[in-house]
Structure 1
Amino acid sequence: MGEKKYTVQDAGPRIEQFLNTVIRLAGFKLNYAVAAGETPHPDFENPDLLVRFSGPDVELLLANKAELLLALEQLTMEAIGMAPEEHSRLCFDANDHRVLRIEELRMSALAAAERVKKTHVPFHFSPMNSRERRILHLALRDQTEVRSESVGEGPIRQVVVVPSDMQTLPEPIRPPRPRPEGPPGRGPGGRGPGAPFRRDRRGGPPGRGRDRDRRRG
C-alpha cells in the first residue's frame, strides 16, 4: 500500500469524536485505543491505523461474524471521509478477530481452489466486503490452475473461484429472499398452522349432521 496516509495525530481525534458519540448514545460498555497499524499478515492486510476494542460488550461486536464491528468500522470510515479505495487503511479489531479471520479466509480460499481443480466447477463465496475479497484474491494469486474473480454488484458482490481457462464467468449467487410471515400463530383460513379440519361423527364439517337432524325433527 506504500506510504502511510493516515496517522494517529491526524485522524485519531476525528475517529475518537465519532466513536465516543456512538458508544455513548448506544450505551455500550466499551473501551478502545487508536494506534498505528500493525499486523502479522502484512501481505494480506497492512492498515495505517488500528482501533482495538475491549470491555464487557466486546462480545456484542463479535457476534454474527463480527457484524457490528464491521458496521462500526464502515461508519467510521464514512464519518472521517475516507474514499472507498482507502478503506484498507483503517482496521477495527477485538480479541484478535482480524488475525483469526485472515487465516480463516486464507484456508477457505486454498480449500476452494483444490475443490475447483478436482471438479472443474466454479466455487462461489458468500458476499463480503472489499477488504475480505482482497484477502481471498491474494491467497490465490500464485495459483496456476484456477483464478479468482469478483462478480456481482453492491451487497451481493462476491468472489468466485474458476478454472484458469474458463472464459465466461458465472453469474453471482443471490441470497434467498426472506419469506413473508403472516400473523403469528395463524395459518391459511384463520386456523393455526397445521390445524386439522375437524369433522363430526357423520364425517362432514362440524355442525352439518346436527342441522340435518333438526330439519328432520
Structure 2
Amino acid sequence: MDNRTNLDDYLAGLGISDADESAPLPHTPEPALAGPALDAAHEDPRAVLERFLRGLIARMDPSLQVSITETGDALEAEITGENAAKLAGRDGRVLGAIEVIAYTVLTKQAGRGDLRVRVDVGGYRKRQSDTLSKLAERLAVQVAKSGEPHELQPMPAAERRIIHITLKEHPDVISESVGEGSARRLVIRPRHG
C-alpha cells in the first residue's frame, strides 16, 4: 500500500485529475472532474457535485444518469440506470465512500463545507430506510410486549437516525443512542416503567 496523503494524489491514482480537463465526457460539455481553476467562492456547489459524479460514473458505466436536488443544508444526488444499484457495494460501503469523496470535492472546489452530501444509487438508500423502519416497528412491538429493552448492534449515525425518527411518536417505547464512536448503538426501551 502506498503512502499517499493528498486527495489530488488519490484522485490521480484513480485516473481522475486536472489532466482530464482536455478530454470532455460524452453528453457533458464540461471537464469530468476538475475544470479550470475557478474562484472557489463563486463556483456553484450543485454544478461542482454534478460534474464530479458525472465524471465518476462515466468511468464506471456511461449509461448511468445523475440528478441533483438541493434541500436546505444538503445536496442530494440520485444515480439511476440499469446497473446503478451495483454502485452501492456490499452493505453500502462503496456508496458511503462516494459520498465522502463527493463531500471532499465539494468542499475543495466550491468552498462549501457547510453542505451535506447524500447520494443514492438505484434506490438503495430508500430500500435501506424502509427496512430499518420496519425493523424498528417490529422491535417496538417486542419491547412493549416483553417490557425488556432491546440493544441493537453498532450502526452508523444515519441508520440510528432512521430508527429514532420511526419511533419518535411511538406510545409504548423510546429509543436512545449509547456508546462512543464506532461502537455507538441504539437501545429501544419501554416508555413507561
TM-score where L is the length of structure 1: 0.55
Amino acid at match of 2:164: H
Say if 2:69 is the partner of 1:36. yes
Q: 1:155 is matched with which residue?
A: 182
Distance 1:128 1:80, change over 3 A: farther
Asked whether the 8 Å contact 2:65–2:80 carries over to 1, the reply is yes
Partners in 2 of 1:127 and 1:10 — Cα distance? 37
Runs of 4+ in 1 over 4 A off after TM superposition: 20-24
The number of residue pairs the alignment matches comes to 146
Say if 2:128 is the partner of 1:101. yes
> Post-superposition shift, 1:149?
0.6
Distance 1:19 1:59, change over 3 A: same
SS of aligned partner of 1:142: coil
Partners in 2 of 1:155 and 1:32 — Cα distance? 33
Asked whether the 8 Å contact 2:176–2:186 carries over to 1, the reply is yes
SS of aligned partner of 1:51: strand
Say if 2:176 is the partner of 1:111. no
Q: 1:12 is matched with which residue?
A: 46
Amino acid at match of 2:68: A
Say if 2:102 is the partner of 1:76. yes
SS of aligned partner of 1:80: helix
Distance 1:11 1:58, change over 3 A: same
> Post-superposition shift, 1:93?
1.4
Partners in 2 of 1:78 and 1:112 — Cα distance? 37
Structure 2: any 5+ residue segments left out of the alignment? 1-42
Q: For residues 26-77 of structure 1, give each alpha carbon's deviation from its aligned partner in whole angstroms, at most 9, with x where no partner exists.
A: x522534232258xxxxxxx87432122356534323323221122113322
Q: For residues 93-116 of structure 1, give each alpha carbon's deviation from its aligned partner in whole angstroms, at most 9, with x where no partner exists.
A: 122222222211111111111111
Q: Which structure: larger Rg?
A: 1
TM-score where L is the length of structure 2: 0.61
More helix as a share of residues? 2
Distance 1:102 1:156, change over 3 A: same
Amino acid at match of 2:50: E
Partners in 2 of 1:132 and 1:47 — Cα distance? 19
Asked whether the 8 Å contact 1:37–1:49 carries over to 2, the reply is yes
> Post-superposition shift, 1:137?
0.6
SS of aligned partner of 2:60: coil
> Post-superposition shift, 1:122?
2.2
Distance 1:133 1:47, change over 3 A: farther
Q: 2:150 is matched with which residue?
A: 123
> Post-superposition shift, 1:142?
0.9
Distance 1:15 1:105, change over 3 A: same
Q: Percent identical across equivalent pairs? A: 26
Asked whether the 8 Å contact 2:154–2:183 carries over to 1, the reply is yes
Asked whether the 8 Å contact 2:143–2:189 carries over to 1, the reply is yes
Aligned-residue Cα RMSD (Å) equals 3.0
Amino acid at match of 2:60: F
SS of aligned partner of 1:13: helix
> Post-superposition shift, 1:119?
2.2
Structure 1: any 5+ residue segments left out of the alignment? 1-8, 39-45, 167-217
